[in-house]
Structure 1
Amino acid sequence: KTWGALGVTYTGPGAAPAPPAGKPKFEEKKPKDGFDGAVNPPWQMVPMSGQKTVILKNADNLTVVSRNPGIATVEDDPKCFVHGGRELIIKGKTKGTTFIDVKNGATTVASLEVAVKTKKTVQASFHLVEDNAGHKTSRTTSSIDGWVKTMNDIFLPQANIQVTKKRAISVKINKDLGAVVRFSSHLPGVPASEHEWDLVIAKGDASADFNVFFVWEYEQDINPNHDDTDAGTLGKNCIFEDHAGTNVGDTLAHELGHTLGVNDFYGATEKPLLMYGITDQRGQKIPKAHANTMNP
């Protein structure tokens, strides 16, 4: 019997036996902190000159060592934990990959792959677009710092990538872009004058790593009058419409993920990922493969 309200577990006659200890297992200490438990061995990103904590279960009397302490060191947090396991503090020393091994005598019974990453800085410039016919974005510069903070909340702990706002300005395009700004050069039979992407991105910041252009409406398929697209990113340029859902910071982070080399994913199991392709249905998780592409 368990007296849950008292936090007391009855262990006398008739109580359920304790489950077997099982194999040693690494787990994340907190979500979206650079741990990937879906790969084998599990993986943890550690920032250079920084540290991360992971949980290790079922390893009470086992030894934990780093294969290369020049890349990453490991030490036990000496406290007792409610989860009953150990907590390991891993410190990043130099850029590279190593493993934390759990040993029973000379035998390695579990490992954690550790990638120590240097900080990658992405300088982002933001542009509020208007044309010469009265079309303009409804967004304002006052929102941008909050979106940059969301991007950093996603990227820094998981991939050691920091986004900095380089500039946030209004830009005017001396043409009537119409009700929809289009990328259409890849579509057969669409007049060349409909392709407005190049006019917009010409107003970008050549020295930025990521240029965002906020427009009223953006489309890139054959049916511009049906709202199928929230944003489009090619190279380091992103056109982002006013109707791009509610989680704007998440969607900007997703678009930056394209600039950093990762494509969209649409599998049902991939919904927790930042790079899941559907706006406002995606999560913020950056798994090992994506982190290593974004910040190798």
Structure 2
Amino acid sequence: MVMATANRMIQKGSTGADVKLLQGLLNQKVPLPKLPQGKKLAEDGIFGPKTDAATRTFQQMKGLKADGIVGPKTWGALGVTYTGPGATPAPPAGKPKFEEKKPKDGFDGAVNPPWQMVPMSGQKTVILKNADNLTVVSRNPGIATVEDDPKCFVHGGRELIIKGKTKGTTFIDVKNGAATVASLEVAVKTKKTVQASFHLVEDSAGHKTSRSTSSIDGWVKTMNDIFLPQANIQVTKKRAISVKINKDLGAVVRFSSHLPGVPASEHEWDLVIAKGDASADFNVFFVWEYEQDINPNHDDTDAGTLGKNCIFEDHAGTNVGDTLAHELGHTLGVNDFYGATEKPLLMYGITDQRGQKIPKAHANSMNP
């Protein structure tokens, strides 16, 4: 049987069941051509020259010191828990810690203290670990209350149900006697409704979007799946219609008024958005192709949003609902982000590479 743990360091000359385990794992993890003589190791429990050579090859593959000694780091790289001399001790239970119950549900653990959005007259559940015998209280029960879910959970912590009472910010405190040992910031938000109108654009020369009104309800659902649980923002479809521009807009619809040397006649943004819904909070115009830089023949823009108007091209990736939500994020006051650590965010600037996460700062800008 394959062992899950190893309690000693082994090297050339060692024998035993842990050597046999090592040989089996090396046979699995080192490509056959890289094993000695291109053959699998004999799983005989004897750490000989061939096992030594295969160990060094594996260590090189993993960027470890290629010394042939199978210690804590090499065992770990093999997927084995090392419990012998030099093992890293198990971390202590530690301070009480709040964690999200489920992803994209209005929790931000990257800020200090962690933060949770709760809808007014609604509730959210968070996990609290390392706090079995501690007291949990709300600083202002008039804004939000907290109670324990009495069930037991596989994660070993507690689950707290936080209910939003009135709009505002308060804190859930974890207390050891009179001392506060951890806190969770809670923002109770009223529902913000965004009325969105969608326009399928065609010009006088027959250029027109390939999109259909039948897809819009699904995209609105995706937008609400993102915004409602994280910022208490609901998108409603106000209208979805076809609109005709009485001009040949050409193969590319352009926003170019900011570009030096481009003729004013090529700035077509104003012609398109003039067909919008003045009473809508967010106007989307689906077009065949859209660009806003100096080279309109190179497709490097999927959509553009200014104020409450968005022009959205047919080639704007596959996750259309996500991209529409991203563009609405601009209307709601949040700019693009491009850092490698910001890829999980809805407001990451690259189409089909972004996530759907709305952190505290963005949620508070979108729905103060």
- Give TM-score, length-normalised by structure 1: 0.95
Residue 165 of structure 1, CA deviation: 0.2
Shift of 1:215: 0.1
Change (3 A) 1:9 1:65: farther
Alpha-carbon distance in structure 2 between the residues aligned to 1:23 and 1:146:
43
CA separation of 1:237/1:11 partners in 2, compared to 1, >3 Å: closer, same or farther? Answer: same
Does the residue aligned with 2:110 lie in a helix, a strand or coil?
A: coil
Distance 1:202 1:11, change over 3 A: same
Distance change >3 Å, CA 82–CA 2, structure 1 → 2: farther
Between the aligned partners of 2:139 and 2:222, the Cα distance in structure 1 is 35
CA contact (8 A) 2:98 2:114 kept: yes
Distance 1:88 1:188, change over 3 A: same
- TM-superposition CA deviations, 1:33-91 (whole Å, max 9, x none): 00000000000000000000000000000000000000000000000000000000000
Looking at structure 1, the residues matched to 88 and 312 of structure 2 have their Cα atoms a distance apart, in angstroms, of: 57
Question: For 1:69, what is the secondary structure of its paired residue?
Answer: coil
Inter-CA distance 66–247: structure 2 relative to 1 (3 Å threshold): same
**Quick check: 1:136 aligned with 2:208?**
yes
Q: Is 1:212 paired with 2:284?
A: yes
Match of 2:268 in 1: 196
Cα shift readout 1:79-118 (whole Å, capped 9, x = no counterpart): 0000000000000000000000000000000000000000
Distance 1:206 1:96 in 2: 31
Contact preservation (8 Å) 1:63, 1:102: yes
Match of 2:134 in 1: 62
Give the 3-state SS of the residue equivalent to 2:336 in structure 1: coil
Question: Alpha-carbon deviations, 1:206-253, whole Å to 9, x = none?
Answer: 000000000000000000000010000000000000000000000000
Task: Select between 3-12 and 63-72 the one with higher mean Cα deviation.
Answer: 3-12
**Higher share of residues assigned strand:** 1
2: CA distance, partners of 1:209 / 1:12: 63
CA RMSD of aligned residues (A): 3.3
> Does the C-alpha gap of structure 1 residues 109 and 231 become closer, same or farther in structure 2, counting only changes over 3 Å?
same
Question: Is the contact made by 1:129 and 1:172 (CA closer than 8 Å) also made in structure 2?
Answer: yes
Do 2:284 and 2:311's aligned partners in 1 also have CA atoms closer than 8 Å? Answer: yes
CA contact (8 A) 2:134 2:175 kept: yes
Whether the aligned pair in 2 keeps the contact of 1:2 and 1:10 (CA below 8 Å) is no
1:17/1:170 CA distance change after superposition, 3 Å? same
Cα distance, 1:185–1:5 mapped onto 2, change above 3 Å? closer
CA contact (8 A) 2:76 2:82 kept: no
Aligned mates of 1:14, 1:225 — CA distance in 2: 61
Q: Summarize the Cα distance change of 1:148–1:5 in structure 2 as closer, same or farther, 3 Å threshold.
A: same
Alpha-carbon distance between aligned partners in 2 of 1:267 and 1:202, rounded to the nearest angstrom: 35
> Does residue 346 of structure 2 align to residue 274 of structure 1?
yes
Counterpart of 2:317?
A: 245
1:6 Cα shift? 22
Q: Among the aligned pairs, what percent are the same residue? A: 98
Bigger relative contact order, structure 1 or 2 (CA pairs below 8 A, ≥6 apart) = 1
1:161-217 Cα deviation digits (max 9, x unpaired): 000000000000000000000000000000000000000000000000000000000
Change (3 A) 1:100 1:200: same
Deviation at 1:20, TM superposition (A): 2.1
Q: Please say if residues 108 and 116 of structure 2, whose CA atoms lie closer than 8 Å, have aligned partners that are also in contact.
A: yes
Q: 1:2·1:9 contact (CA, 8 Å) conserved in 2?
A: no
SS of 1:2's partner is helix
User: Secondary structure of 1:3's match?
Assistant: helix
Kindly tell me: are residues 186 and 169 of structure 1, through their superposed partners in 2, closer, same or farther at Cα, counting changes over 3 Å? same
Tell me, what secondary structure is at the counterpart of 1:293? Answer: helix
CA distance in 2, matches of 1:189, 1:3: 64
Tell me the distance in 2 between the aligned counterparts of 1:187 and 1:13.
67
8 Å CA contact retained: 1:32, 1:285: yes
CA distance, structure 1, for counterparts of residue 149 and residue 262 of structure 2? 63
When residues 59 and 190 of structure 1 are mapped into structure 2, their CA distance, relative to the original with a 3 A threshold, is same
Counterpart-to-counterpart distance in 2, 1:13 and 1:267: 41
Q: 1:87 to 1:7 in 2, by over 3 A?
A: farther
Deviation at 1:2, TM superposition (A): 20
Deviates most, 7-16 or 32-41:
7-16
Counterpart pick for 1:74 among 139, 146, 156 = 146
Counterpart-to-counterpart distance in 1, 2:352 and 2:208: 24
2:26 counterpart residue number = none
When residues 266 and 156 of structure 1 are mapped into structure 2, their CA distance, relative to the original with a 3 A threshold, is same
Q: Which has the higher helix share?
A: 2
SS of alignment partner, residue 289 of structure 1: helix
Give the TM-score taking structure 2 as reference length.
Answer: 0.76
Deviation at 1:21, TM superposition (A): 1.5
Going from structure 1 to structure 2, the CA distance change for 1:14 and 1:174 (only over 3 Å counts) comes to: closer
Give the 5 Å matches for 1:88-103. 88-103=160-175
